[in-house]
């Protein structure tokens, strides 16, 4: 196997090297890390399964930065800056398992099913992604097989063998999107099961350290709740997606502060449910 050019997931994977000619690089699968999924505190007995789909910005060398300039491949379009650090702190505070993806969402967005056009984007905001343009079905299937399916299976296997009370996914978003400022600081997102979101929003209203919104800046209509609908809803598991504005988690101190606040809100929310709470039929 090739040497793995990502760093510890705690330090967040980074893209290395300049933009390259795809035609000169080896088959991208030969440059894919042996394991694309990272699990922290696998045997922890805490109440949550934490998930970070966009933890890293690593693009396998064989994909040549997908034709992007190095700065573009390091930007927020490739990952959710700060999200993995917050999730790691939250995992420690809640003594709960954290499963994260080591590969950039530009290679495959693990919060989308293979049938979604958003799973492999050739445009992201103002950026064109040449390495994702005009992909054939075989290329798309290979990305899904080698990036998405191991991640999906890791979540399913954990839930089949453990009994967390809630599934919580951690993301970050930009303070400005397409020229529009976003006032919300932390978004509490849900799909058809709003129980955990409702309880967290109530707890947040009693501890108003941040501007919190429901299904803001995204909602299920944007296709962002795939992990919840794929893994939590069929099991009747409490679930929520958390979006944090990334300018609020740009430093280690800020990441710890947001994680501590989220831990308090989650703990308060869980107290409102029976230990064996399941989604009503």
3-state secondary structure 122-165: CEECCEECHHHCCCCHHHHHHHHHHHHHHHHHHHHHHHHHCCCC
Calpha distance 91→58 (Å, rounded): 22
Average pLDDT over residues 108-118: 97
Calpha distance 258→87 (Å, rounded): 10
Q: What is the pLDDT of residue 17?
A: 36
Q: Is position 279 within any domain?
A: no
Q: Is position 277 within any domain?
A: no
Query: The pTM is what?
Result: 0.90
Q: What is the pLDDT of residue 1?
A: 33
Q: What is the pLDDT of residue 26?
A: 63
Q: Cβ contacts of residue 157 below 8 Å, gap of 6+?
A: none
Q: Within 13 Å and on the Cβ side, how many CA atoms surround 121?
A: 17
- 196-230, pLDDT tens digit by residue? 999 999 999 999 999 999 999 999 999 999 999 99
Q: Is position 90 within any domain?
A: yes
| Domain CATH code at residue 130 | 3.40.630.40
- 131-147, pLDDT tens digit by residue? 999 999 999 999 999 99
Range of the domain at 210: 9-270
- 76-90, pLDDT tens digit by residue? 999 999 999 999 999
Q: Is position 281 within any domain?
A: no
Q: Is position 1 within any domain?
A: no
Average pLDDT over residues 42-48: 95
Q: What is the pLDDT of residue 278?
A: 60
**pLDDT band at residue 124 using 50, 70 and 90 as cut-offs:** confident
Average pLDDT over residues 225-236: 98
Number of structural domains in the chain:
1
Q: Is position 276 within any domain?
A: no
């Amino acid at each position: 196997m090739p040497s793995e050019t990502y760093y510890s997931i705690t330090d967040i994977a980074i893209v290395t090297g300049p933009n390259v000619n795809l035609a000169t690089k080896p088959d991208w699968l030969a440059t894919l890390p042996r394991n694309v999924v990272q699990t922290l505190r696998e045997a922890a007995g805490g109440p949550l399964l934490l998930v970070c789909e966009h933890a890293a910005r690593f693009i396998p060398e064989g994909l040549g930065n997908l034709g992007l300039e190095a700065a573009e491949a390091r930007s927020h379009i490739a990952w959710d800056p700060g999200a993995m650090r917050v999730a790691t702190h939250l995992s420690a505070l809640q003594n709960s398992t954290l499963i994260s993806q080591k590969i950039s969402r530009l290679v495959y967005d693990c919060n989308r099913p293979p049938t979604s056009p958003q799973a492999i984007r050739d445009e992201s905001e103002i950026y064109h992604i040449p390495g994702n343009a005009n992909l054939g079905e075989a290329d798309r299937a290979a990305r899904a097989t080698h990036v998405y399916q191991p991640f999906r299976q890791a979540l399913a296997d954990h839930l089949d063998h453990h009994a967390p009370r809630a599934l919580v996914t951690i993301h970050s978003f930009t303070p400005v999107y397409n020229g529009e400022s976003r006032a919300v600081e932390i978004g509490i997102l849900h799909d058809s099961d709003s129980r955990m979101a409702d309880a967290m929003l109530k707890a947040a209203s009693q501890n108003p350290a941040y501007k919190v919104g429901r299904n803001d800046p995204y909602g299920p209509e944007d296709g962002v709740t795939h992990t919840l609908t794929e893994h939590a809803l069929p099991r009747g598991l409490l679930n929520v997606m958390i979006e944090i504005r990334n300018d609020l988690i740009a430093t280690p101190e800020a990441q710890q502060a947001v994680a501590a606040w989220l831990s308090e809100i989650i703990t308060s929310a869980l107290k409102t449910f029976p230990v064996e709470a399941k989604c009503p039929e």
